[in-house]
Amino acid sequence: AQKITQTQPGMFVQEKEAVTLDCTYDTSDPSYGLFWYKQPSSGEMIFLIYQGSYDQQNATEGRYSLNFQKARKSANLVISASQLGDSAMYFCAMRPPSGYSTLTFGKGTMLLVSP
């Protein structure tokens, strides 16, 4: 069974600073995908970034980057130059190698960005 652990219930960061949101995972599958989603107070789930287990380089998407450490089974999200609009819940999720693309989510981290 797959498991995602997000140990930070809440994080605070000042505007323009960088912040790291932690995610560790547990799986016996050699092939898997890791995702980060953002959920603002409106409730919509917004896809941010993806890392494949066989990807050699850490994923980057604009201000988002993923610090992927496969041996440690961690996939931390780094947000650079935080903005007020980054305040939201952030979820780490894992997809197994099956063809149905079901996702297992962590419990999330609430990020608050202050001016």
Partner 1 sequence: SQTIHQWPATLVQPVGSPLSLECTVEGTSNPNLYWYRQAAGRGLQLLFYSVGIGQISSEVPQNLSASRPQDRQFILSSKKLLLSDSGFYLCACMRAGHYNEQFFGPGTRLTVL
Residues contributing to the site for partner 1 (CB under 8 A): 4, 33, 35, 42-45, 47, 50, 91, 93, 95, 100-108
Minimal distance in Å, beta carbon 105 to partner 1?
Answer: 4
- By C-beta, is 57 or 101 nearer to partner 1? 101
CB-based burial label for 7 (10 Å; 0-12, 13-18, 19+)? exposed
**What's the min distance (Å) between Cβ of 108 and partner 1?**
5
Whole-number minimum distance, CB 87 to partner 1, in Å?
16
Supply 112's token pair: 């608050």
CB 38 within 8 A of CB 48: yes
Q: Supply 70's token pair.
A: 């496969």
> Which C-beta is closer to partner 1: that of 45 or that of 84?
45
- Smallest gap from Cβ 115 to partner 1, in A, equals 25
How many angstroms separate the CA atoms of 6 and 25, rounded? 9
- Written as six digits, the tokens of 19 are 């912040």
Residue whose CB is less far from partner 1, 15 or 61:
61
Question: Is the Cβ of residue 68 or residue 91 nearer to partner 1 in the bound state?
Answer: 91
Tokens of 87: 């305040």
